[in-house]
Chain A
């Protein structure tokens, strides 16, 4: 009994420690963004929305935000069908190139993004599409697709293949089985993967740096450009925008799938 309580105590202290460590930078940046002073610091000097205003008034920022949203949406829209079908095919069919594809799934950890960025710049330059915005979306989808496939694969692997047999036994032809049983069952994975893709694309910097120019600059690249000049509290405000986007994604996830699916197995 006592040891159980002791264990719980140790566990809780560790959880709190981890939470604080994880949350601290975020809290600091949120605090700093509300400063009314001219330099970025914590605790802030006075409270104001001054730097949010400044951010909003900055013409470049709004355009960059819009472009980033467009690129992320495009990347997500491509990733959903491609990633879902790829994950299903990987899990269900004995494929001849299964090995190759597994290696591909590890690429995000093995190939530096600089390399991907340069090679895609060359590729798109060759295809004469560099300077447009949509190739950036496609590129982000390409480099992050493994995450989508992973998310869906975990749902597919948890799916009992007998369910599809049961559906067939109920009289459903293969396409209907896919639409009414397979797809709903892997939906949590698809939604998770889609949001992951959106967030990753929203944050992606290095590859975007290679593929954008002053007319197509996206938010992360824009931030980088302004850091090179001076660090002002509007950067903290941008960070808060990012945090808000991430929180929104988690909220959407919770509404659509239910966070408990991620926190415990069904």
Chain B
């Protein structure tokens, strides 16, 4: 089957900087794809090209297997929620939602009922007669969502549609969105810099940085098998530190960090001994091992330097002298059931070898690109 949307080496340059670089991706019919990346990495630029407000400087975009360069935006069956919403200020919420229906020649008798249904879907029943400036930011955002969905587009583009909502409503809307999307079966591209949202809502996640697609995979794979240092550190709270390959059999090898050798999962294809690498360790995968408890594969002693209470978890910053005085972050998700560790306390940290990510050191070109990339 031809994919719904296909990006073929899409590049968009503004002057001498490129907002999107050689992006290639495929989106199947009915799929929910999330583009995740830091501010300024080119997410909006990519969506605008798909919607037709902007054109690639190089490369092609295909929808249903057809190159769409020549199709003006108003002939594309694409609903979009804009980052700045772009509600029509002189129309009421209901008129906003009805606008695409009128423009797309829906049966006039059917329009009021449809408007009502979509306002209800975004929980704005009774708000139809308000103007946008008479509504809160979150309500406006939901009008924009209803407007984008009301005409049953083939493709839905969401540019951070939930960013103005408070956390509780946002999390509710994430699940709601997923439900609506599955119910209507509409192919969706969502943009966010909220990793939780990306992981919760999507069939697939595309991680972008500095205009480049870093990884495109299922949420679980992006989380468990990040393909490079950027993805590993962008998703989750990850401590990244340098090391060197000591031994490299297939699968689990050993990395020298500081004065110790740590067993680690090496990337497919293996690495030659002596290769400089970046290692990554997620805070949620490191545990404080209680005395007498079963030990994970790797254990190492450290000193608690800081303790941060975050409500649903405690975060410890633990300095580990054998790892070259590296400071590791450790979560304790269940602090109520055992003693908290004071600052200065000696603790034993442990993790499993497969949770230690190893990436070949990035070339200088890549490394500087990440550091000097568009400021966020």
Q: Please list the residues of chain A having a beta carbon within 8 angstroms of any beta carbon in chain B.
A: 160, 162-163, 165-174, 176-177, 180-181, 184-185, 187, 266
Determine which of B51, B74, B79 lies in contact with A172 in the assembled complex, contact meaning CB atoms within 8 Å: B74
Chain B, 74-126, CB within 8 A of any chain A CB: 74, 78-80, 82, 84, 86-90, 99-100, 103-104
Given contacts A172-B74, A266-B133, contact A162 B100 (CB under 8 A): no
User: Quick check: A162 and B103 within 8 Å, CB to CB?
Assistant: no
Task: Jot down 19 A-B pairs with beta carbons below 8 A, ordered by A.
Answer: A160-B86, A163-B89, A165-B73, A165-B82, A166-B86, A167-B99, A169-B74, A169-B78, A169-B80, A170-B74, A170-B103, A170-B104, A170-B151, A171-B74, A171-B103, A172-B103, A173-B74, A177-B74, A266-B133
User: Quick check: A168 and B72 within 8 Å, CB to CB?
Assistant: yes
User: Quick check: A166 and B82 within 8 Å, CB to CB?
Assistant: yes
Residues of B within 8 A of A168 (CB): 52-53, 72-74
What's the least CB distance linking B153 to chain A, in Å?
9
Mostly helix, strand, loop or mixed at chain A's interface? Answer: helix
Of listed B84, B90, B151, residue having the most chain A CB within 10 A: B90
Asked if B147 CB lies within 8 Å of chain A CBs, one says yes
Given contacts A170-B103, A170-B147, A171-B103, contact A165 B86 (CB under 8 A): yes
Name the residue on A nearest B89 (C-beta). Answer: A185
Name the residue on B nearest A173 (C-beta). Answer: B74
Instruction: Please measure, in the bound complex, the distance between the C-alpha atom of A174 and the C-alpha atom of B87, giving whole angstroms.
Output: 17
Residues of A within 8 A of B133 (CB): 266
Residues of B within 8 A of A185 (CB): 88-90
User: Quick check: A162 and B88 within 8 Å, CB to CB?
Assistant: no
Name the residue on B nearest A172 (C-beta). Answer: B103
User: Quick check: A166 and B80 within 8 Å, CB to CB?
Assistant: yes
Name the residue on B nearest A184 (C-beta). Answer: B90
- Interface size for B (C-beta < 8 A) is 23
Residues of A within 8 A of B86 (CB): 160, 162-163, 165-166
Residues of B within 8 A of A184 (CB): 88, 90
* New A-B contacts (20) at CB < 8 Å, excluding given A168-B52, A169-B80, A266-B133: A160-B84, A162-B82, A162-B84, A162-B86, A163-B88, A163-B89, A165-B73, A165-B82, A166-B80, A166-B86, A166-B88, A169-B78, A170-B74, A170-B99, A170-B147, A170-B151, A171-B100, A171-B151, A172-B103, A184-B88
Name the residue on B nearest A266 (C-beta). Answer: B133
Instruction: Please measure, in the bound complex, the distance between the C-alpha atom of A187 and the C-alpha atom of B73, giving whole angstroms.
Output: 25
Residues of A within 8 A of B151 (CB): 170-171
Determine which of A171, A173, A181 lies in contact with B88 in the assembled complex, contact meaning CB atoms within 8 Å: A181
Residues of A within 8 A of B90 (CB): 184-185, 187
Instruction: Please measure, in the bound complex, the distance between the C-alpha atom of A160 and the C-alpha atom of B87, giving whole angstroms.
Output: 10
What's the least CB distance linking A52 to chain B, in Å?
42
Instruction: Please measure, in the bound complex, the distance between the C-alpha atom of A165 and the C-alpha atom of B51, giving whole angstroms.
Output: 9
What's the least CB distance linking A252 to chain B, in Å?
19
Instruction: Please measure, in the bound complex, the distance between the C-alpha atom of A173 and the C-alpha atom of B76, giving whole angstroms.
Output: 11
Residues of A within 8 A of B88 (CB): 163, 166-167, 181, 184-185
Given contacts A173-B74, A185-B90, contact A165 B100 (CB under 8 A): no
Per-residue A-contact encoding for B319-346, CB less than 8 Å = 1, 0 else: 0000000000000000000000000000
Instruction: Please measure, in the bound complex, the distance between the C-alpha atom of A118 and the C-alpha atom of B89, giving whole angstroms.
Output: 46
Determine which of A160, A169, A171, A177 lies in contact with B51 in the assembled complex, contact meaning CB atoms within 8 Å: A169
Given contacts A160-B86, A170-B100, contact A165 B53 (CB under 8 A): yes
What's the least CB distance linking B205 to chain A, in Å?
25
Chain B, 129-160, CB within 8 A of any chain A CB: 133, 147, 151
Residues of A within 8 A of B78 (CB): 169
Residues of A within 8 A of B84 (CB): 160, 162
User: Quick check: B79 and A169 within 8 Å, CB to CB?
Assistant: yes
Residues of B within 8 A of A165 (CB): 51, 53, 73, 82, 86
Instruction: Please measure, in the bound complex, the distance between the C-alpha atom of A171 and the C-alpha atom of B133, giving whole angstroms.
Output: 24
Per-residue A-contact encoding for B26-49, CB less than 8 Å = 1, 0 else: 000000000000000000000000
Name the residue on A nearest B76 (C-beta). Answer: A169
What's the least CB distance linking B357 to chain A, in Å?
40
Residues of A within 8 A of B147 (CB): 170
Given contacts A165-B73, A169-B73, A266-B133, contact A176 B103 (CB under 8 A): yes
Instruction: Please measure, in the bound complex, the distance between the C-alpha atom of A265 and the C-alpha atom of B54, giving whole angstroms.
Output: 31
Instruction: Please measure, in the bound complex, the distance between the C-alpha atom of A10 and the C-alpha atom of B99, giving whole angstroms.
Output: 50
What's the least CB distance linking A100 to chain B, in Å?
27
What's the least CB distance linking B346 to chain A, in Å?
55
Of listed A168, A173, A174, A181, residue having the most chain B CB within 10 A: A168
Chain B, 250-282, CB within 8 A of any chain A CB: none
Per-residue A-contact encoding for B56-77, CB less than 8 Å = 1, 0 else: 0000000000000000111000
